[in-house]
Amino acid sequence: MSGINIFEDALDRLKLIAEEAGINAEVVEALSHPEALIKAALPVRMDDGSMRYFRGYRCRYNSILGPTKGGLRFHPQVTIEEVQALALWMSIKCALVGLPFGGAKGGVEVDPKTLSPMELERLSRAYVRAMADFIGPKVDIPAPDVYTNERIMGWMLDEYEAIKRIRAPSVITGKPVRLGGSLGREAATGRGAFLCIQELAEREGWTPSEKRVAIQGFGNAGYHVARLLQEAGYCIVALSDSKGGIYSEGGFDIESIWHHKRTESAMRGVYCEHTVCELVEHEQIDNEALLALDVDILIPAALEGVITVKNAKRIRASYIVEIANGPILSAAEPILEKAGVMVVPDVLANAGGVTVSYFEWVQNRSGYAWTLEEVNQRLEEVMSKAFNEVWTIAKSEQRSLRSAAYIHAVRRIGEAVSAHGTREYFASS
């Protein structure tokens, strides 16, 4: 992280784009203040018998379009400013792809890798006990994010239902399938980004086999977009996680590296057949070096704020597809635009996750499960429609894809705000 206030940076970007597009000031003001924010100390009995307290947060940002929706991350660098920024971006994202949700986000300041499985479960349940009156199927629906997963969501669902003494599968999304989760949810964020790249390829007229890709962040979303891109013919030449990265001019076999990472907890350039893996020629690189590689497509899929004014000039990729939330700071954006880099913004590129979370919520509320084919088909329809709408605005109004995405989303939110009446309405009454 760069050390700047990520929430203030997010607001600056929103206000700049809105001002340039002539968005009603009352709409912008409504999006400048989170509706509700809760901070809690979460008590957890550790395996050694001691009691520790962890900081937990949840922000419901804007609910004018529906109940709020957003992930929950466990990370040592979680801050209240970060949670608010993520909730703002989720508000933009849901409006952009046409979901009946507002934005929310949550987090716990913890390094989950230092906890035992039982400590992790106690922390997950403690979070829900603190937030039980703040979340709900018709109020605010959490989901997995950085270092949380379907098992943690299952614990949280169980705790919520025990507290409320009801069955409420739609209070949490990203759950195990047998607890009401949706097929296709695990791959949804990566698949959504892949669909955006396919839409971009169609418009830019490129051949996948001629494009080299670097992905910073080889977690769940990074893995799935890498897998789908490789299946489509793209060459994945670089991958990284929090510990560092690997680079090979000839590209990598994604499934082999994913298998090795999951079994050995290490990023290495390997090729595997069944359980036997052998090393292939590659270089070890750090995350900063990965960002500056001479590739066609750069995919930041880790944390926010990794591309700054200090390193933006070193970016050599022609296209950046943001799977992480807010990986490019607002001050770095003009540098990339001047260099001719096209950015597919996070609020569009990573919207597959919240879209399939919406599908899960709908399935839970209707009591009917969809097939994987239905989920993927509906996701493709949503992503294709959203990308086309953003592209059309960008070309017709001569704006960047990020600016077009924000304008489209804020206009939708603005229509809802106007339906309640704005200054113009009441001043003319």
DSSP label at residue 255: H
Amino acid at 144: P
Token pair 């950046």 in the structure block, residue: 320
**Contact between residue 57 and residue 106 where contact means Cβ atoms under 8 Å apart:** yes
**CA proximity to 65, closest of 410, 383, 402, 423:** 410
Burial label for 424, CB within 10 Å (0-12, 13-18, 19+), is exposed
336: nearest Cα among 247, 252, 401: 401
Alpha helices in 97-149 (DSSP H): 117-131
- Sole residue written with tokens 């069944």: 274
- The secondary structure element, H or E, covering residue 428 is helix 423-428
Q: Answer yes or no: are the C-beta atoms of 293 and 269 closer than 8 Å.
A: no
The helix-helix angle for 401-420 and 372-396 (nearest 10°) equals 100
CA atoms within 13 A on the CB side of 353: 29
In DSSP notation, 8-51 reads HHHHHHHHHHHHHHT--HHHHHHTTS-SEEEEEEEEEE-TTS-E
- Characterize the bridge pairing of strands 68-75 and 102-109: parallel
Choosing from 39, 69, 93, 105, the catalytic residue is 105
Closest to 176 (Cα-Cα) out of 418, 369, 39: 369
- Residues in CB range of 34: below 8 A, 6 or more apart: 59, 60, 61, 62, 84, 87, 88
* Beta partners for residue 247, in sequence order: 238, 283
**Close Cβ partners of 407 (under 8 Å, ≥ 6 residues apart):** 17, 18, 21, 23, 393, 397, 399
CB distance 81 to 61 below 8 Å: no
- 175 in active site: no
Kindly list the strands in the beta sheet with 297-300, ordered across the sheet, starting from the edge strand earlier in the chain: 283-285, 244-247, 235-241, 212-216, 297-300, 319-321, 342-344
The catalytic residue positions are: 105
